[in-house]
Chain A
Amino acid sequence: MTQKIILTFPSEVSGDPIIYELIRTYDIKVNILKAEIQPGQIGTLLVELDAEEDKVEQAKAFFTSRGIATNPVSSRISYDESRCIHCGNCASACFAGALRITPPDWRLHFDPEKCIACKLCLKSCPLRLFSIEFSPLN
């Protein structure tokens, strides 16, 4: 199975080779989609983990043991649907194909599975309806 999660690193571990340990110890295929990490500061990493379900669970336990918060991506990007005018500006920018304006209704459809949290939709929505939130540290 593959699972996309956002890892939020506390400042004290943001210099550690966490991903190296993850691959070595749990034999998980890791695809880093986005990284915002600087030693000594809170960092975030969007990763896709490709492994058996039990290994993914072990990896999550490993992250928790190191004080790293894990959150599925789908719960992170959201937009105010009630104010959406289905103009398509977000979909135009969304190269990952998560936001699409499609027939027959030509309304906005969001597929969280495809979202790589690049945040282009936040800038591209002319109504500023999108938000992305990172969860507080454990």
Chain B
Amino acid sequence: MAKTYEEINEKIRQGKAVVLTAEEVAEMAKTASAKEIARKVDVVTTATFGAMCSSGAFLNFGHTTPGIRMETIELNGVRVCGGLAAVDTYVGATDCNPQNPTYGGGHIIEDLVAGKEITLEAWGKGTDDYPRRHVKTLITKDSINEAYLYNPRNAYQNYNVAVNSTGTTKYTYMGTLLPRLRNAAYSTAGELSPLINDPECRTIGLGTRIFLCGTVGYVAWNGTQFHSTKEVNAHGIPTSNARTLAVVGDLKEMSTDFLRGVYYEKYGVSLFVGLGVPIPILDEDLAQRVSIRNEQIETVISDYGDNYHILGKTNYAALRSGEIEVNGQKVRTAPVASLAKAREIADILKAWIQEGRFELSAPVRPMPTGTSVKPLEIRGFKDETGIQ
């Protein structure tokens, strides 16, 4: 009863593929068996739209006459990487100028996508082959050569819930955490989330074609901090941050509807990334996996005021009810990633596949197994933390 990628792609080309979103298939699974789902459904679309700090873009500016070996580079006054040949750079989403911390890499990337003019200023020491020592000009995404997003760590497979037990407000990448457990912030799209629907990455690997910020992108590698040996629950879902994806796509084709530069109070700049992954329903096992429901996806509650101390466990049905219990106290919950936008992405990807505009690609290399995440040890030097 197994299907192949080629059989599914043939159906897509003929406009006959049956495509559901992960939420739709979870609903269908209430009355249909995995066997029936495997027979009826060809592709399930998953999506997420949230802040993903480990993101950025490679740019190539082109050469001036006379040429310059750009060693110090600023875009709209923000220092970006000067360590890539003469006229290449990498804009990290969290790059910023400490003098103006509310605008940074994420905003530059959004401005480029929006077609806005960006001020490029660069300095070099002057070499025999690149004599120019300074350049200042305006660029747009159309005036430069390549511009592609390459995000080293996106689409975390599950994420902890953030709370704050201390007496003061904490400003974090999980948003404003009110004192004394007055709120709980969660960020995963639950049953719609990509790596929740294929938890062992049977179909997601290098070369997997995806939706990335409004255009077609690809999984480029396993994401950094790829943790494939986290404890899983009875439904095979890791109960906290586990696997991740490195993704790549053409910035020039992207849309600011699905890519936004953001600033978190007292934390810094980041980038909201919209990402959708199609899961081919090759067999009954995958049909079972994509049928996962919010109440079956558990995650841990982490105290961001007390060194990420784990205060308990909950699930996404409880989180979406608006209230969970932590330490015997009722705590109000709210998302800090957009489910409305994630649904929009899952629907767009579904339409692309139904219309025959998007075929599925089998991984050219599977994701690694047996990996975990190392901490950074302090050795050879006295530990001076600088914490104030």
Contact = CB atoms under 8 A, between A and B. Distances in A.
A124 B338 contact: no
A102 B50 CA distance: 17
B178 A89 contact: no
A91 interface: yes
A101 interface: yes
Contacts of B49: 85, 87
B338 A86 contact: yes
A15 interface: no
B335 A87 contact: yes
Contacts of B185: 88-89, 92
A124 B265 contact: yes
B175 A101 contact: no
Most B-side CB within 10 Å, residue of A93, A101, A103, A107: A93
A103 B337 contact: no
B178 A95 contact: yes
Nearest to A85: B338
Contacts of A88: 175, 185, 334-338
Nearest to A128: B263
Contacts, number: 77
Interface residues of A, number: 22
B262 A126 contact: yes
Interface in B71-104: 102
A106 B343 CA distance: 10
B265 A123 contact: yes
A81 interface: no
A100 to B, nearest CB: 8
Given A124-B176, A126-B262, A126-B263, A95 B182 contact: yes
Interface string B246-262: 00000000000000101
Q: What are the 9 A-B residue pairs with the smallest beta carbon separation, nearest first?
A: A126-B262, A92-B334, A93-B176, A88-B335, A106-B339, A86-B340, A89-B175, A124-B176, A123-B265
